[in-house]
Amino acid sequence: MSGVPSDIEIAQAAAMRPIVDVAAELGLTADDLIPYGRHKAKIAPGAIAARKPRGRLVLVTGINPTPAGEGKSTVTVGVSQALRRLGKKVVVCIREPSLGPVFGVKGGAAGGGYAQVVPMDEINLHFTGDFHAITSAHNLLSAMLDNHIHHGNALGIDSRRITWPRTIDMNDRALRQIVVGLGGLNGGPSREERFVIVPGSEVMAILCLASDLADLEARLGRIVVGLTRDRKPVTAADLKASGAMTLLLKDAIIPNLVQTLEGGPALVHGGPFGNIAHGCNTIVATKLGLSLGDIVMTEAGFGADLGAEKFLDIKCRVGGLNPEAAVIVATVRALKMHGGVKKDALGTPNLAALEKGLVNLEAHVKNLGKYGLPVVVALNRFVSDSPEELALVLDRATGWGVRAALSDVWAKGGEGGEAVAKEILAVLDEGKADFRPLYDTGLPIKAKIETIAREIYGADGVEYAAAAERSIAQCDALGLGGTPVCIAKTQYSFSDDPSKLGRPTGFRIAIRDVYPSAGAGFVVALAGEIMTMPGLSKTPSAEAIRVHADGRIEGLF
């Protein structure tokens, strides 16, 4: 819309509170903070250890994403602003953005419009250095692995069976498969290598699931970097790398405190993707939020088939968390895309396509019911939405037996989220949540994969490539048969085919490989053609980003 400020313009015009004042709202003093300037800080470890969770946890998730946009982070922030307006002591707990999407096509993860966390530009860029610390710790292990082989390979590592990649926080398809060590005798061992993006690094997953520094070091030590010639696992502890890796992460494990545009507290910490990793912020931050506030609003990556499933089956198990409600974010525009409408025609009312696309939302509503969670549908309003379209979605949602309300937080901030906030409070007052994970971790790996595929994706079954069959046997041999499963799958569809929108049926999930994340405490199953290193689009967002001489940033969103 002409004349509407951009996200970065709104953020830069904000009158931010000093971070000590934001902390005081939570009962924290200046001595409880490790300041990073005037508007962001880490919470001192002593202040974390002294507190016990007491608040109520609300998950924000969404339908399968489309290029039309849905706005989970925007709703998470905006509804928290609304709850604060209604007199509730609320804390936002969300993930840190990755530089890959910021300079790629998806944009940052600080919310949007008048429902953002600020300072938006700093959060979307280097922030407090957590991602850089993860990058350094991950690549230190890579360097120590190759150095060990170079200096005699006392552990007998088979260079053909090295599974530990390198990492960088940027979309770069050229790094998906490379060769390292081409510098001659002193250039290190020559072998095939690959990079993953930092949000897909096991170190990121470990940081987000670790309970404290000691747990972090123990988990890092369990990382499997490869196999010996007789197929025995080699770990980071075997390479004596876990202590130094922990040192690099000693500040990164401490949660970051910032604020919403309306001055409310927000903990922004950790950043795994929801399609290739478990898609949730850190357990440390979530538990801290629950100890400081009455309500924690947290968000999980991509659609409920990915982020919510992993939040509920992995994070909540590991952290002993008990969510009491789930918000599913949808838009008329996205639902029409699921109904077959092209992006350039979304501004035209189309009740028939909307009706067809509603099956996507309905499936997510029913899936979350399998976890014993009451659901609130938050319908994010766009200016092109017709009253009839908005009414149709709300009517269908209430017909499924769940609460639903319009969200206008992008344009109105907290005021525009009060309708959704009141529905959340009503759900919490009813106290009908009976959270339970989807599957028993004691089931065989295949049984867990197939449970998710059938119950959440709606697949007819699962097909395993030969490599996946071998890897599953190896994971069992490593003692990981009784852990949760993290399925890496396209975010755009319930299936593993991104072109199958809506609610596809009659398909099977193809698992091409499975690999251990022993430190994180789960196994990862790769479905379809999912990549752990994204590429840039033909016209990446980076082309429109610049900084002016006066420090004003343009093009960041």
H or E element at residue 463: strand 461-464
Residue 471 lies in a domain: yes
Contact 334, 65 (CB under 8 A): yes
Q: For 48-70, write each residue's pLDDT tens digit.
A: 887 888 999 999 999 999 998 88
Residue 547 lies in a domain: no
Is 378 a residue whose pLDDT tops 60? yes
Is 78 a residue whose pLDDT tops 70? yes
Burial of 526 (0-12, 13-18, 19+ CB in 10 A): buried
Q: How far apart are CA 270 and CA 206, in angstroms?
A: 10
Query: In the structure, what pLDDT confidence band is assigned to residue 523 with cuts at 50, 70 and 90?
Result: very high
Residue 535 lies in a domain: no
Contact 315, 101 (CB under 8 A): no
Is 198 a residue whose pLDDT tops 60? yes
Residue 92 lies in a domain: yes
Of 217, 240, 263, the position where a domain reaches its end is 240
Is 347 a residue whose pLDDT tops 50? yes
Query: What mean pLDDT is predicted for residues 283-296?
Result: 97
Residue 179 lies in a domain: yes
Assign 116 to helix, strand or coil: strand
Assign 35 to helix, strand or coil: strand
Averaged confidence pLDDT in the chain: 95
Is 2 a residue whose pLDDT tops 80? no
Is 390 a residue whose pLDDT tops 80? yes
In a shared domain, residues 467 and 328: no
Question: pTM of the prediction?
Answer: 0.95
In a shared domain, residues 55 and 142: no
Query: What mean pLDDT is predicted for residues 277-300?
Result: 97
- More confident call, 406 vs 551: 406
Q: For 301-326, write each residue's pLDDT tens digit.
A: 999 999 999 999 999 999 999 999 99
Residue 451 lies in a domain: yes
- 294-307 b/e (C-beta count within 10 Å ≥ 16 → b): ebbbbbbbbbbbbb
CATH of the domain at 183: 3.30.1510.10
Query: Among all chains, which residue has been given the structure tokens 């085919």?
Result: 497
Q: For 412-468, write each residue's pLDDT tens digit.
A: 999 999 999 999 999 999 999 999 999 999 999 999 999 999 999 999 999 999 999
CATH of the domain at 67: 3.40.50.300
- Number of structural domains the chain divides into: 3
In a shared domain, residues 486 and 417: no
Residue 280 lies in a domain: yes
In a shared domain, residues 174 and 322: no
Query: What mean pLDDT is predicted for residues 507-518?
Result: 97
In a shared domain, residues 231 and 140: yes
In a shared domain, residues 264 and 119: yes
In a shared domain, residues 333 and 400: yes
pLDDT of 109 reads: 82
Which tokens is 401 given? Answer: 């037996």
pLDDT of 107 reads: 72
pLDDT of 189 reads: 87
CATH of the domain at 451: 3.10.410.10
Is 376 a residue whose pLDDT tops 60? yes
In a shared domain, residues 195 and 273: no
pLDDT of 1 reads: 43
In a shared domain, residues 326 and 260: yes
Is 194 a residue whose pLDDT tops 70? yes
In a shared domain, residues 306 and 268: yes
Out of 83-92, 314-323, 541-550, least confident range: 541-550
Residue 537 lies in a domain: no
In a shared domain, residues 137 and 214: yes
The domain containing residue 451 runs over which residues?
445-527
